[in-house]
Chain A
Amino acid sequence: MKTLLIALLAATPALAAKPPLDAGPAPHPGAEVYRNVCQACHMANAQGGVGAGRIPALAGNRNLAVSGYPILVVTGGKGAMPWFRGNLSDQQIADVINYVRGNYGNRYKDAVTAAMIAEMGVAAPVRDER
């Protein structure tokens, strides 16, 4: 039952459809990844949430200042958050990190590349049990 996120994203109509001619600048490639994956927890406004535990806000998050940190978290997971290495392509991971680091009140200019994910990212674990 393990479908790759890559396949899911590729199959998303919004991605496949050509933008209308009068559309503004092309949407950030990381926006679609954020919408289909990250906002399940971090919310559409990147504010996270607080209950018995906390989903950290990505908006205005100073932990994003050094790009190595989100690379480690997205590829390797942290606490309840699972790893996404292997489920997202390195390019998709780079895209979504760039998207979050450049939006939601974050203004980090240095771009993350797929090569950086390949070099610094945590390897995907052996297939999980379920």
Chain B
Amino acid sequence: MHNWRHDSGDAGDKGLIDKGRHAPTRRELLHAIGVMGGAALLYQAMEAMGHARETQFAGPPNLSGARPGASVLVLGAGLAGMLAAYELAKAGYKVEILEYNNRPGGRNWSLYGGDTYTELGGATQKIGFAPGNYLNPGPWRIPYHHRTLLHYCKAFGVALEPFIQLNHQALVHDSLAFGGKPQRYRELAADWDGNVAELLGKAIDNKGLDSTLRAEDRDRLKEALRRWGLLDKDMRYVKGLRSSRRRGYDRPAGGGVDGAPIASQPFALSDLLDSGIAELIAMHMENQHQTTMFQPVGGMGMIGKAFGRQVAGKVRFGAKVTKIDQSGGAVTVTYSDVASGAVNTAKADYCVCTIPLGILSQIEVDASPGMLAAIAAVPYSNSVKVGLEMRSRFWEDDEAIYGGISFTDREISMVSYPSSGMHSAGPAVLLGAYTFGPASYKFAGMSPEERIATALEMGSVLHPGRYKEQFLGGAAVAWSRSPFTLGCCAQWNEATRKEHYQTLVAVDNRLVLAGEHASYIGCWMEGALLSSLDAITRLHKRALEA
């Protein structure tokens, strides 16, 4: 790999760089390449310089030269399907999308006041949120390195704002720690670092690390631990103004007579171990949760709506696909109109199918035995999200919690505070449950009203007194009962990846699959989009070679 340096004499074509008064910086060079060659070239250049490893996105595909009259049928108007349709239409294909729902977006979706949602089993919710408030039943946050999604958000005019993932002021509750009393993430995380630093220091002093550390590094590590863990001069993590700088004070600094701060008492290590704080710190540290995260202004569904505008007029809504046939040198898809039951067919030269595998496995598909086995091999996860609208932002007013997430070992697993509209009056919607594992089945088995009531009960442990008192109304979406997905996301494992993944993503005659299920970024919008770009690039190549 080319290790570029600022003072390198071979900094490329200096004619691209303004005047050349100094050797071009990396940034100047990258800018020039971006201007001259577009994003794909820029990405390659950045990669050569050892940057941009956070994404496989190489810029929008430059597809062009479709054969005159060539057509593609896209199944599903989620993000993968709509991106495929948008890019293939740009390349010159005649494109039509069939979509089961009566809206674009698929799992990218927000529920607003006035919306109605009917889940499988027939339970219907009429959402009563105040104007501007919403629940994101599916995706709700965007990592900074999901460059495909960010690219198209910008291209399609989706306004973004910061999503607050980590909030030190938010709460951590574990029924077995601190007598069940929630504690601040800030205090737990500070004390975790302090305790680990002190213990490592002791290990060094007890010669426990002599075999792995050189003498001079032992001293340097000790000093680093002292600074990192806010240890005192004797390498102890103790109550004092130094440790309180991170964990907070019993009496914070003020003005005048009582201006002096009073230090707070750190927690004991065993309590920290009970609290599960290490697991939460690790979760926040994952690349997909690192700063900066985004959300669309006005709800995640703004992305689906914006994509929908780009393919306006190309989507047939309320169309339930029942058969995909590839005989006779074309793809013929049979579908029924959900409202009338009328059966129709649509025909095209090629097909991009983004239907979730759990549903696709129930549809008669004309494809290779390997493809059919792959489609049938991947089960779907489940999750339940509950939105709770509160009369006021008591978490902000009472507790100075602005955005972020509080965690609990109860089955709701978390309460997330809105990242937008901070410091405003009037009702706001909390994410009152985001369930995982067994809790998802338990919650999904309840009626929507029971889910809301249970989420309200469980979440009140974080804000006793205020939670139920301020509650106005809720909305609950159980993905296992979602009529258009039958679950949350594709659940691959090592064995199924090995046996089926390459077959699943391969072009099968005139058919190619796309979606989060055809990616290694499962359950994220970015995976759906990267899968879509890869699928249509290969399909286009195939079409030109045909």
Which residues of A line the B interface, CB within 8 A?
Answer: 1-5, 7-9, 35-41, 43-44, 47-55, 77, 79-83, 87, 125-130
Contact = CB atoms under 8 A, between A and B. Distances in A.
Contacts of A130: 381, 489, 491, 522-523
Interface residues of B, number: 49
Given A36-B445, A40-B441, A49-B481, A80 B120 contact: no
Contacts of A49: 120-122, 481, 483
Contacts of B358: 53, 79-81
B440 interface: yes
B355 interface: yes
Contacts of B441: 5, 36-37, 40
Given A40-B440, A55-B120, A125-B495, 16 more contacts: A1-B413, A8-B438, A37-B445, A43-B120, A49-B120, A49-B121, A51-B482, A79-B357, A79-B358, A80-B356, A80-B357, A80-B359, A82-B382, A126-B494, A130-B381, A130-B523
Interface of B is mostly: loop
Contacts of A41: 120, 444, 480-481, 486
A80 B440 CA distance: 15
Contact of A126 (B320, B357, B493): B493
A8 B120 CA distance: 25
Contact of A82 (B381, B442, B495): B381
B185 interface: no
Among B439, B445, B484, B492, which residue has the most Cβ atoms of chain A within 10 A? B445
Contacts of A80: 356-359, 361, 379-380, 486-487
A4 B495 CA distance: 21
A4 B438 CA distance: 7
Contact of B491 (A37, A55, A82): A82
Contacts, number: 124
| A-B residue pairs, 8 tightest by C-beta | A80-B358, A51-B483, A49-B120, A40-B444, A53-B359, A82-B379, A39-B445, A8-B438
A40 B480 contact: yes
Interface of B: 100, 120-122, 320-321, 355-359, 361-363, 376, 379-382, 411, 413, 436-445, 478, 480-487, 489, 491-496, 522-523
Contact of B100 (A39, A40, A51, A127): A51
A35 B446 CA distance: 9
Contacts of B496: 125
A80 B522 CA distance: 15
Nearest to B489: A130
Contacts of A36: 438, 441-442, 445
Contacts of B379: 77, 79-83
Contacts of B355: 52
B438 A125 contact: no
Contacts of B357: 79-80
Contacts of A81: 358, 379
A99 B483 CA distance: 27
Contacts of B382: 40, 82
A86 B32 CA distance: 56
A129 B120 contact: no
A99 B440 CA distance: 22
Contacts of B486: 41, 51-53, 55, 80
Contacts of A7: 438
Given A40-B444, A82-B491, A128-B493, A52 B522 contact: no
